[in-house]
Structure 1
Amino acid sequence: MPCPETPSAPAAHTDTASQYHQQSAPGESRPPVLILGGSPLQVPMIQAARRLGMRTLVVDANPDVPGAALADEFAAVSTTDVEGLLALTRDRELAGVTSVGTDRPVRAIAAVAQAHGLPAVSPETAAACTDKALMLQAVARAGVPHPRFALATDLDELRAAVAQVGLPCIVKPLDSSGSRGVVQVDTEADLPRALKYALEPSHEPTVIVEELLVGREISCEVLCVDGVYHVIATTDKDTTGSPHFIETGHTQPADLDEETLAAAHALVAQCLAAVDMHFGPAHVEMMLTENGPVLIEFGSRMAGDFVSSHVVPGSTGIDFIGLVLRQACGEQIEVPPHSGRAAAIRFLTAPEGVLRAFHGEEAARAVPGVDAVITLAEPGEAITPLHSSTDRLGVVVASGPDRAAAVAACERARSLIRIEVGRAPSSAAAEPAPAEGSLPARGRRVLVIGAGRGQLGLIRAIKRLGATAVVASLTAGPPPGLKEADEAIDVDLLDPDAVAREARLAGVDAVATSCLDTGLEALGAVVDELGLRGLTRAAARLCMDKLAMKRRLVEHGVPTAPFREVSSPEELDAALEAVGLPAMVKAADLQGSAGVFKVTSPAQARAAFDRAQSLSRHGTVIVERFLNGTEFGAQALVHDGEILHVTVHGDDLAADAPIPIGHHVPLPDGLLASQAREVTNAAVVALGLDNCAVNIDLMACDGQVYVIELTGRAGANGLPELMSAVHGLDYYELVAREALDLDVPGAWVRREPWPGAALAMMLTDPDAHGTVVDVAVPADLPEWAVDLTLFRGPGDRLDGFTSSNDCLGQLVVRGQDLSQCRQRAAALAAQVSFNLQEA
């Protein structure tokens, strides 16, 4: 990113005369305000000082920062070089000393202010606000809610600290900001890498290990005046989540009830009093947990990310930076009343590569409500993975009468900006080769279609292989995969051509998905357009359109239930006469059990038709004969035209709807399983599925196995985890390897099959209606429990069970036989309970 301050060399007494310039008239005698830093974050403060009639002396180790050209005087001195700053200002008067948006100069501000008799926090307070260990120790003594923490200087101490704090946890430097060096650790195997990552941006040899707080993150923007803490604004924060928690957007005011807001403001006062801070700006970050607000960290400075300079004025009407400048120069100030408006900021990011150009900036600026569009990078610059706030490429800021208007304007403007990215020159030849068998996908980029819960296992598998996981999804919500992925592309998966364009710009080397039909044609478009390995667009279309699929199955002689295409009530009557009652009514283009209805009368059929037609995008409905038999299914993987495996599984259906809520292996009927494998092979050939996982729904009726439908991706609702349990491998990794063409047959040969039975069960509750307050889960899982994952948590709304999207979670167990598996699954499910607040 442009113009970051370059850390100065240890020689703090460098002669700065040759690095000093003065733009004002020689006779000017007013003392300047010393502003530490000249990066884009400090530019608004320099401009505000000029607006207030103040002279500015700006210092930064990097003489090319934009603030250098705007300052009345500039000196190339590091903002952390206390001796150099004191030498620069020793023989002159200063009006004040301050900065904005970074912790780096806070100690220097305190030291210079003390030397010149200027108002500022004390050096002791500055130290406590810039050393996370001192900070947490101070709030712990004061009884302020805070995360568990421990310190470490080497790997052995880190292991001991993690044992004390618990996994998962956060490892971070003591003295950095902007998410630099911050990483989530999930397993002990991640510790060596986490230690190195946290120490790299730090000047201290020690890292801090913190408890991973779960909840909603907010911050408070504070100004201390005459010992009174004024919370000027409270901010909702959007972040990338694990592993680096980079902030991607902010919205003011935070969407909080009065009680929560009061608790957050009380925490602010407790934190700042704990470090004896009673003057100047503060930025306090906290997590709203189920037990109330808990401190994350705070700083004795204004927030960065253009929050103080743009978002706060937009939402409150208060010139925050102007107040801080005036206070730093000794003026008596009063905090004016809040305007009652709202503001939002969203950051611009792009895939790794080389920045070619920004497109659409002027159109974005023209959106009503947009206050600023700022780019932070220049064409030709390398775009690195999003590991800290400095890796972002720009910002969009908007304001409005309320949150909805501000956010809508911000998102609209961001959607108009396209960032053109070229491929970075390959450096693979210069990199050391990985150890045998480790990180086989190192340096490669995999596009994951979708970012829902069904993609989480795939994203994690891709990262374990050493590849970069880039998710394609609409990011509103946001879907959970955004927190796991390395990068994200905000795109509508129902626009395959747009996804293919974005994939080309992102420079991906492979594309994959799991548990999701919605973006299957987009996956095929990427495969075709970029010449990648996987499902073709033509095959994907067949998978996504039940009507076209059934036609193709019939053409190839694959048994499927007799059906009729229906698009009007008149055609419905004829279809019912042809297939008989009971019947199945299905929207032709929806996935899973959505839009699927069993009907036993013409009246039910008419209602189901109306509902299915309203849910369908193109309005086509299928009416097919109800097969009164046993529903089951199979998972398969096709590799270079050969079916590597067909694993037949039994299905457990919901009591009142044809919705699978469980799967098990093996299928007790060996003959039926054999017939299912034959039908699966024929269906795969009929649809032209290759180099992909396959999920197929089957029905056994009157001695015949029928295909209900199939699709070119792994099944949902615990099926990948069930396949992992059955075959003794990571099935998500097998799917990722197929997309990357990483010796899939070899990985399959190395599997360790489970000799007994396995069962996946979805957690459901048809009677659950209300908002989740908390969830009780077992503290430890027995060795036979392969997986226990919850999809819903505190704050989520539950409204019964009508489709697989309403599942509350899943569990997978193994046992000697199915009877034991069912007993174990029931026992484990009984230990999970959702406490609801009724509507």
Structure 2
Amino acid sequence: MSRRALILLEGHRANGLLYVQAARCLGLHPIVLATDPSQYDYIAAQSIEAIRVDSDNFDALMHVCSRLRATYDIAGIIGFGGLHESRHVIVAKLCRHFSLPGPNPASIERCRNKFTQRQSLAQAGISVPAYRLAANTMEVESSAAQIGLPVILKPAEGSGSSGVRLCHDMDELAKHTTYLLGRTYDWRSSPKILIEEFAQGPFYDVVTMGTSVVAIGAADFDCPPHFVPRQSMFPAQLTDVEHKRIADVSLSCLRALGLGWGPANIELRWTNRGPVVIEVNARLPGWTTPRLVQLAYGVDIINEHIKLIIGDGCNLRTRHPHAAVARFLVPDRDGILARIDGTSQAAAIPGVVEAKFYIQPGTPIIRNGDYLDIIGHVMTASPDHARTEAILERAIDLIGWAIKPMPQSGEQEQSCK
């Protein structure tokens, strides 16, 4: 009898190992298909089977999967939260090609393009920021004038806040437009810019599976005018009325976009006109969110996602209400990470789930204003929100790092908190 295998497209430096561990606990043999498997250190450390293949090439991936079927019983094909949106479309197409459980590729494609997504949501009567699509500088300026400054400029296709910037005036608008339309930004498709109203209000992060709302969290951001996550908390502190409205809007988004199989992540802000949907991602969120959901609700959404992928039923019943928070460690300057301090002391505090850096001293730091600027996190949990926050602040006070200038600079290293 052939060994059951789970194909994982690419990896993830925060959650990749969690997927591998969950797959093995379910009796599956994980196999990673990646353009460069060596960039995920847990693959070698865990002796995970990995195959080097262009993960943007559907035909190449199909060929590799077909070859693997001669040796393995492929139980499912899965992508990670945080994976580039185009690859989630490829995963859906591979599932369809091999008659495996998976989402509708057309629905994933509809979500991938933020302009098309906005059109579908607006047509369904769901509140979204005012928006326009532009392909050149003149169209960007005209759209910003129609919407009214400040506006947010972002690639129409992308993820992880890459290329996203808040522009307060025409100079900032022109500068970021030049960056996006120049040769610096890495476009995976024809350059199209989404210009949108800056919806202001508390930010909420909704995790769904199928047609069920699993979790609602709150988040805030740092490093303006960019949107680099600073902190994430589950569950969000909401009234019953607010919780119901957010849940109802989230389920309306799934219906409008033809989703309803598998995971999704809805991001919204509560403005003076109520919930305004910023974005819907047809996938699980990345980074610390799966861990926070498990700590707060007792639901292992990675495990349940894999079970769904391989055709098993998933259990989304919450088991214990806790408060879980992650604070992200973000440098305030470029340079070379010279040292890190205090992680072991912070991790030893009762209630601290994890305190870690993703990079080691000696690593160059070049900030781009997106999620890749994050170099570590501290995660805490307890039965009480106030207590969880207090534990977090105590741990953060123990952690520090120093960044020294790049070799061509003569400045001295500077310490950060």
Alpha-carbon distance in structure 1 between the residues aligned to 2:106 and 2:33:
23
**1:53 counterpart = 2:38:** no
For the 8 Å contact 1:171–1:207, the answer to whether it is kept is yes
Aligned length: 402
Per the TM alignment, residue 331 of structure 1 is displaced from its structure 2 partner at its CA by: 0.6
Within the candidate set 264, 269, 272, 2:246 is matched to 264
**1:214 counterpart = 2:124:** no
Per the TM alignment, residue 218 of structure 1 is displaced from its structure 2 partner at its CA by: 0.8
Per the TM alignment, residue 134 of structure 1 is displaced from its structure 2 partner at its CA by: 1.4
Within the candidate set 57, 65, 78, 1:89 is matched to 65
Q: What is aligned with 1:462?
A: none
Q: What is aligned with 1:636?
A: none
For the 8 Å contact 2:222–2:228, the answer to whether it is kept is yes
Larger Rg, first or second structure (1 or 2): 1
Amino acid at match of 1:371: V
Q: What is aligned with 2:91?
A: 109
Alpha-carbon distance in structure 1 between the residues aligned to 2:179 and 2:33:
29
Alpha-carbon distance in structure 1 between the residues aligned to 2:10 and 2:101:
19
Alpha-carbon distance in structure 1 between the residues aligned to 2:111 and 2:204:
18
Within the candidate set 166, 173, 188, 1:203 is matched to 188
Alpha-carbon distance in structure 2 between the residues aligned to 1:301 and 1:388:
19
Within the candidate set 77, 91, 100, 2:80 is matched to 100
Alpha-carbon distance in structure 1 between the residues aligned to 2:355 and 2:53:
30
Alpha-carbon distance in structure 2 between the residues aligned to 1:43 and 1:197:
35
Amino acid at match of 1:33: L
Residue deviations 1:447-478 (CA, integer Å, cap 9, x gap): xxxxxxxxxxxxxxxxxxxxxxxxxxxxxxxx
Within the candidate set 222, 232, 236, 1:250 is matched to 232
Change (3 A) 1:126 1:103: farther
Per the TM alignment, residue 413 of structure 1 is displaced from its structure 2 partner at its CA by: 1.6
Structure 2 counterparts to residues 497-516 of structure 1, below 5 A: 504-505=414-415
Q: What is aligned with 2:284?
A: 302
Helix, strand or coil at the partner of 1:175 = coil
Residue deviations 1:545-572 (CA, integer Å, cap 9, x gap): xxxxxxxxxxxxxxxxxxxxxxxxxxxx
Per the TM alignment, residue 231 of structure 1 is displaced from its structure 2 partner at its CA by: 1.5
Helix, strand or coil at the partner of 2:56 = coil
Structure 2 counterparts to residues 242-641 of structure 1, below 5 A: 242-308=224-290, 310-350=291-331, 351-385=333-367, 387-426=369-408, 504-505=414-415
Alpha-carbon distance in structure 1 between the residues aligned to 2:355 and 2:117:
35
Helix, strand or coil at the partner of 1:138 = helix
Which is further off, 273-282 or 35-44? 35-44
Residue deviations 1:770-802 (CA, integer Å, cap 9, x gap): xxxxxxxxxxxxxxxxxxxxxxxxxxxxxxxxx
Amino acid at match of 1:192: A
Amino acid at match of 1:30: R
For the 8 Å contact 1:58–1:71, the answer to whether it is kept is no
Change (3 A) 1:305 1:124: same
Residue deviations 1:341-390 (CA, integer Å, cap 9, x gap): 11000111223221012211110110111111232112211122361111
Alpha-carbon distance in structure 1 between the residues aligned to 2:43 and 2:287:
20
Q: What is aligned with 2:53?
A: 77
Q: What is aligned with 1:223?
A: 209
Helix, strand or coil at the partner of 1:214 = coil
For the 8 Å contact 2:137–2:177, the answer to whether it is kept is yes
Per the TM alignment, residue 67 of structure 1 is displaced from its structure 2 partner at its CA by: 4.1
Change (3 A) 1:427 1:196: farther
Helix, strand or coil at the partner of 2:284 = coil
**1:37 counterpart = 2:15:** no
Helix, strand or coil at the partner of 1:296 = strand
Helix, strand or coil at the partner of 1:95 = strand
Per the TM alignment, residue 270 of structure 1 is displaced from its structure 2 partner at its CA by: 0.9
Change (3 A) 1:361 1:198: same
Alpha-carbon distance in structure 2 between the residues aligned to 1:189 and 1:143:
34
Alpha-carbon distance in structure 2 between the residues aligned to 1:327 and 1:33:
12
Residue deviations 1:11-32 (CA, integer Å, cap 9, x gap): xxxxxxxxxxxxxxxxx83131
Change (3 A) 1:275 1:399: same
Per the TM alignment, residue 171 of structure 1 is displaced from its structure 2 partner at its CA by: 0.4
Alpha-carbon distance in structure 1 between the residues aligned to 2:47 and 2:120:
38
Alpha-carbon distance in structure 2 between the residues aligned to 1:78 and 1:369:
42
Q: What is aligned with 1:467?
A: none
Alpha-carbon distance in structure 2 between the residues aligned to 1:280 and 1:322:
12
Q: What is aligned with 2:169?
A: 187
Change (3 A) 1:152 1:244: same
Change (3 A) 1:358 1:78: farther
> What percentage of aligned pairs have identical amino acids?
28
For the 8 Å contact 2:10–2:37, the answer to whether it is kept is no
For the 8 Å contact 1:176–1:201, the answer to whether it is kept is no
Task: List alignment gaps of at least 5 residues for structure 2.
Answer: none
Amino acid at match of 1:61: T
Alpha-carbon distance in structure 2 between the residues aligned to 1:79 and 1:46:
18
Helix, strand or coil at the partner of 1:80 = coil
Which is further off, 74-83 or 344-353? 74-83
Structure 2 counterparts to residues 11-26 of structure 1, below 5 A: none
Per the TM alignment, residue 412 of structure 1 is displaced from its structure 2 partner at its CA by: 1.7
Q: What is aligned with 1:724?
A: none
For the 8 Å contact 1:46–1:67, the answer to whether it is kept is no
Amino acid at match of 1:35: L
Alpha-carbon distance in structure 1 between the residues aligned to 2:140 and 2:42:
40
Q: What is aligned with 1:708?
A: none
Q: What is aligned with 1:517?
A: none
Q: What is aligned with 1:161?
A: 143
Per the TM alignment, residue 339 of structure 1 is displaced from its structure 2 partner at its CA by: 1.1
Alpha-carbon distance in structure 2 between the residues aligned to 1:159 and 1:380:
42
Residue deviations 1:651-671 (CA, integer Å, cap 9, x gap): xxxxxxxxxxxxxxxxxxxxx
Alpha-carbon distance in structure 1 between the residues aligned to 2:408 and 2:223:
29
Residue deviations 1:517-549 (CA, integer Å, cap 9, x gap): xxxxxxxxxxxxxxxxxxxxxxxxxxxxxxxxx
Change (3 A) 1:196 1:50: farther
| Larger RCO (CA under 8 A, 6+ residues apart) | 2
Change (3 A) 1:115 1:67: farther
Per the TM alignment, residue 245 of structure 1 is displaced from its structure 2 partner at its CA by: 1.2
Amino acid at match of 1:214: Q
Helix, strand or coil at the partner of 1:59 = strand
Amino acid at match of 1:319: D
Per the TM alignment, residue 306 of structure 1 is displaced from its structure 2 partner at its CA by: 1.6
Helix, strand or coil at the partner of 1:295 = strand
Within the candidate set 145, 148, 160, 2:130 is matched to 148
For the 8 Å contact 1:348–1:414, the answer to whether it is kept is no
Q: What is aligned with 1:68?
A: 43
Q: What is aligned with 2:217?
A: 235
Per the TM alignment, residue 418 of structure 1 is displaced from its structure 2 partner at its CA by: 1.2
RMSD in angstroms over aligned alpha carbons? 2.0
Alpha-carbon distance in structure 2 between the residues aligned to 1:413 and 1:202:
39
Helix, strand or coil at the partner of 1:90 = helix
Per the TM alignment, residue 409 of structure 1 is displaced from its structure 2 partner at its CA by: 1.8
Alpha-carbon distance in structure 1 between the residues aligned to 2:118 and 2:369:
24
Per the TM alignment, residue 113 of structure 1 is displaced from its structure 2 partner at its CA by: 0.5
Change (3 A) 1:131 1:398: same
